[in-house]
Structure 1
């Protein structure tokens, strides 16, 4: 009798395990609505969050509409305002004009020479980096000034040679 009761209990456990495995196999092949449900829950959560944000924004706008903007009272004339603006623009422009040393070389020999000049000038005491021997970094940008300096320097000699 005890043996039969134990066997019946073991059979129940095996049957339950077998049914559970079979349910898992059947659920794999069947369309599962859990994904749709999770997407629906996400969508609802997003809508709730959006509605809450809109409500808070509207509440904030109503609170802000209660206050009137404070008008600044100034005794400055139009010319003074223009002068202040002009000085601000000049200060900003001068702040933007920072000299950044740049170098360029068209071939390997020039690059090596440039590197030796730059490194020797940066190690020299009391010299600013990149100011080695008056190297013109971008002469194409200052062509007119360079031409004027050249003419001023060379014209007396040319006039002397060719009267």
Structure 2
């Protein structure tokens, strides 16, 4: 009985509260970015506008795998003598496996 009364009270309270419709009057104004000028630059064509609005400073690296390979070769050259001194009886392939784990 108490549960039903409590549910009826909640339903009555929910029906009593009506939500206001969301209108454009209640929302804050947003800045119009169509008229935005970046540091006083002016663009007369699409390519100029893209160059002004682009955020990347430099070109994307087209071949990062080459730089990765060179970096690993330098790492291997620096650490191979240390691994070889720690494990003098191992073969080169085994030493490279240990380096690969590092």
TMscore range, shorter length = 0.3 to 0.5
Structure with the higher fraction of residues in helix conformation = 1
TM-score, length basis structure 1: 0.25
TM-score, length of structure 2 as denominator length: 0.36
Rg comparison, structure with higher value: 1
